[in-house]
Structure 1
């Protein structure tokens, strides 16, 4: 049992394996937050203590025992005297007010999770329990439900809110948070993942202090530049030690998280879908659910939060694997770009099989009039000049070689030069009578219109049903502008970005159900939608279009702050002929061992010695794969230190994979000691590369790496318990 309800004191406690979350209903009206941290004794005796701050109004009828402007609350409301960021703001036009008065009515717990309509959420298991708080505003006849879903084994609590309108007034939602957490006074920092295209998820750490910080995407996507994952941590917290909290949202559209420190250094965190271009008309009798947000706490520093989030994503977000092993992919894009045809791809598939890959992926250029990026998007049928025998026959011929077949799609987009656009120019997002913006010569289809989603659905079924691919790569190469739907009335145009995302999820759900045996990889110009929403449908995500191993080191390191290696598609690529020399090939491979391995080579004229190296790499990767995809990750050195060192450890301590990656040598570098704290101190391990035996205590004390001043130096150790 994870949820405990003390009805007498109105204290509710949520417990995971190592954490506890405590709240209390104050004055029988107000849900107040008491504690979130390490699971320990005495928490059941906690009670609410008022914080008095000058110029904070309160309620006279409660003798000012609850001051909204200073209280630690579970959920806050605009207009009640809370001058910090608030979780809910609604407008009731008929009353002419944005002020609401939601008071506690009831609490209940139940097994499993509350189902969020039309959106992904964490997958429940036998341990999952949910607390439901019901709050009411009697004046406007509205009900607010707050859901707390506990995932005990990974120390995560998932949260979302549901606003249910009654029969008195229409309500316009202007802001609605999925999660709010008020932290006590302290010196906090926060870590965010910034960057941009080609350098996704570049980490930064800043003090919270007094004031407001925002992690916001307005792009209609989670974005390359403002990933929704972040941490809030004590100023003294390190990778291995200290209090840290992690947050994320199971959503792929515009999002907004705020971290606000008040004048007492109390800090409020709110996570929500983006509210700047959002409002939602809630008519009488209707309801609205927020996306699900997740939070975790660890006393074991940044690494502890990461491992909790990794467990959540692997066990409760990622779809089940469709094959016993993850596909090792050879993708055609960097080999041929748009210039593909049936004969070329057949030769490419034979080369892939000879090199040891088990899946060949045909990227952009196979459909419609797609000979470049100005035409073809929206017409999801094979180009008959490039595939003279038809796509089903071609796919069967590839599978007959004993290799899996994958294909690239970009179903959310359309070119002006396409049959779909010519037939339905009103099916793109565009303001009437205004100039349209495009990017990469493409417009965004109006997925807020179910008719558009159904059309793409039907096209994909017609094209792929005769011979289904084994793998889909779903791309999305521009962000949202002109967010106007011709299918909605003017008063609902602020709903377009969210309705669009619901349409995207609808098509993803259909694709997963219609092709249950196909692996699905998500891409958005690389890592532009590297988020929990996409991960709910995709086995892995193309982490970045940047496959330069020196740059990938930081991208992959930063991605692991909030996401497991199993989500990352990591390819070895030949940016130039020099990339095929043995030293560079090994370095690129060692970097790519940070996730699911794949390749971006033209194998048609590749020397046999290189093909042999690739076969050996893939064979070795298959040995390491269970550790990479399912092991616990421990970071030892971060890239800003001059090298990246980390290891994966099996949860039972039976095997360890240690990696040291150094892009640039430093003549001043001294020897380094790589300590493997997760080693079983009572066991012995053998290193499979050289046969040497180490005790667990020796590994915990550390592997000594002599000073190396070379560029592009890397080394891997694989230890197996004897």
Structure 2
């Protein structure tokens, strides 16, 4: 049993290696008294004195599970409500527990008002993950306004912590930053209408001040929010001597009215602890995601090698030219052919067409059938790009329904990337999109959809709601997007959906629940991608990370060898975006060889365990290793040689000490034991600029 209670006072959430202990004292306030390595004897936690000094009210000094605004609390709260009479203070009058084998609910009822909060917990014992979320219920008749409703609150005793999150922008996603939290608070958030490119809806806290923190050692506490909208994470050093963490829906410009009998469910947070550093955190969360978050059916299957036509044709899409591209892509060994932007009515440029999701008969006189038949005939699957949340002013949809966007009636509508945002809170908007896209998928042989979102939200007004309800539109929009993708997945369960938002603007566990992969960045520069991919992999699985080879790397204008570029893309779920109309036959044959090699190691790369062995952030080389069933793939990258010293030595991880492994290095076949490879390592030479190696190790005895 992974949830245990002791004398209606102590509740233990026990995973395979960790314990999360909650105590409910005489003050009826649930507090987290321990989160760390597993302790089986839970009665040891009974009877401990409160940490609150006698001259202070207790709530501020407690590591509360649900600190509500007010009531002598001066730390960040995770909930703020306003009752109909103006009272903005939730006080627990009664608390009781409901338990199952792996679930716990602590129900907190207000001492005066018909209002309660359900603190919900679920234990994933084998994966060492705890799910936390909450449901608030208005059990009376008068309305209650939620001004803040975060999903979870965590407390860690003492000081000396660092907080790791990401700082980025378009084309520069997942730039990891670790900062000491010695006083005050650190806020990571988005109020762009989606996750966006800056911070990520996670927390990663480690003991970076008191002991060395390395990739595979050190204490780490972590959590990730299952939400794709505006979020906020606050990591706070409380003056009472502990760390306070709250995470959930951003309360900036947020308010939600609960009428009598209504409830609100906050999105879930998946959290854990390890003393094995970032490496063990990644392994646990990658396994958890595949077993419990990824849509069933595709979670345990590797993604196909993809070709995307954007760099070959941009908006100038024509059926016969696409068929010619199909034939060239097939010869590379590609398994999925995707027509990007430009296939639908009026889409000659990025100023028109969005919202009109109908095949352009000028470009495809017979519809998509000739193209999809050509794709299928060459053994590939077919996909399309869409951007369903957007509309161009120059479109049939906007001319018919100019009221279907977010706007202030007294202001000129702000334009972003030549497009407006559709009001996804409106049922008629969602139903129009569902009908259009369902028809598109039903009438055509489409196996894949790239779902893009290329501008941030603004002017959140409308929705057919009174002005006092407009603060709810940010969340209603997210719910509307969820409804649309859920509806399409239910009707088309075999279609593979990719989450893209101008690159990595929708990389989060909420998207993972509904999509099959991410496009983590529009930046395809192979060197930049190494940094993006390394930090992305902290909490997100490799299988979900699309990585492309392109001609024009776009951001930096570097001249990088094909081998380095292919190896960088092969570290994820491989895609090809080169302009095959300008690619020489010799280069296409070389790409074909890399594709064949990738297919040989694909299961290991996408579904195996990842080890970040070396990083260019603090080393001369980047080295990443994947370990699967009887195979390991090791990628090594050198950006530039230093001081005429080409020799590098790397020690591997995750192998079986007693097994032998065969690999080829510099045209020599070598056999070494797992123990040797992990202790003594491999010496190899990398020279000049942008050199790289791929070592494939095959286990040759059990």
SS class of match (1:350): helix
Q: Which residue is 1:81 aligned to?
A: 72
Distance in 2 separating the partners of 1:458 and 1:497: 24
Q: Does the 8 Å contact 2:285/2:540 carry over to 1? A: yes
1:626 Cα deviation after fit: 1.2
Distance in 1 separating the partners of 2:584 and 2:369: 32
Cα shift readout 1:681-713 (whole Å, capped 9, x = no counterpart):
121111156431111110111423356452111
Q: How does 1:174-213 map to 2 (within 5 A)?
A: 174-213=147-186
Distance in 2 separating the partners of 1:85 and 1:619: 53
Q: Does the 8 Å contact 1:104/1:133 carry over to 2? A: no
Cα shift readout 1:139-165 (whole Å, capped 9, x = no counterpart):
111111011111112211111100000
Q: Which residue is 1:414 aligned to?
A: 391
Verify: 1:35 aligned to 2:34, yes or no: yes
Q: 2:238 aligns with which of 262, 280, 301?
A: 262
Q: Which residue is 2:326 aligned to?
A: 349
Q: Which residue is 1:4 aligned to?
A: 4
Q: Does the 8 Å contact 1:671/1:704 carry over to 2? A: no
Verify: 1:282 aligned to 2:272, yes or no: no
SS class of match (2:109): strand
* Distance change >3 Å, CA 276–CA 718, structure 1 → 2: same
1:318 Cα deviation after fit: 1.5
Q: Does the 8 Å contact 1:241/1:302 carry over to 2? A: yes
Q: Which residue is 2:528 aligned to?
A: 551
Q: Which residue is 1:117 aligned to?
A: none
Q: 1:710 aligns with which of 684, 688, 691?
A: 688
Q: Does the 8 Å contact 1:321/1:539 carry over to 2? A: no
Distance in 1 separating the partners of 2:198 and 2:113: 40
Aligned Cα RMSD in Å? 2.1
Q: Which residue is 1:109 aligned to?
A: 99
Q: How does 1:636-715 map to 2 (within 5 A)?
A: 636-641=613-618, 642-650=620-628, 654-667=630-643, 671-687=647-663, 690-706=668-684, 708-715=686-693
Q: 2:337 aligns with which of 354, 360, 371?
A: 360
1:105 Cα deviation after fit: 2.4
1:292 Cα deviation after fit: 0.8
Q: How does 1:39-188 map to 2 (within 5 A)?
A: 39-47=38-46, 48-53=48-53, 56-57=56-57, 67-92=58-83, 94-110=84-100, 129-188=102-161
Q: Does the 8 Å contact 1:569/1:595 carry over to 2? A: yes
Distance in 1 separating the partners of 2:396 and 2:55: 63
Q: Which residue is 1:250 aligned to?
A: 226
Q: Which residue is 1:386 aligned to?
A: 363
Distance in 2 separating the partners of 1:461 and 1:429: 24
Distance in 2 separating the partners of 1:477 and 1:581: 26
1:291 Cα deviation after fit: 0.7
Cα shift readout 1:34-82 (whole Å, capped 9, x = no counterpart):
111111344441134312348632xxxxxxxxx0010122111111111
Unaligned runs of 5+ in 2: none
Q: 2:268 aligns with which of 247, 271, 292?
A: 292
Verify: 1:369 aligned to 2:346, yes or no: yes
Q: Which residue is 1:438 aligned to?
A: 415
1:564 Cα deviation after fit: 1.2
Q: Which residue is 1:21 aligned to?
A: 20
> Please, what TM-score do these two structures have when normalized by structure 1?
0.92
Q: Which residue is 1:630 aligned to?
A: 607
1:491 Cα deviation after fit: 2.1
1:581 Cα deviation after fit: 13
Distance in 1 separating the partners of 2:314 and 2:55: 63
Cα shift readout 1:408-436 (whole Å, capped 9, x = no counterpart):
00000000000000000000011111121
Distance in 2 separating the partners of 1:417 and 1:471: 27
SS class of match (2:372): helix
SS class of match (1:153): coil
SS class of match (1:619): helix
SS class of match (1:639): coil
Distance in 2 separating the partners of 1:109 and 1:54: 34
Distance in 2 separating the partners of 1:27 and 1:613: 71
Distance in 1 separating the partners of 2:453 and 2:18: 38
Q: Does the 8 Å contact 1:136/1:144 carry over to 2? A: yes
The count of corresponding residues between Structure 1 and Structure 2 is: 691
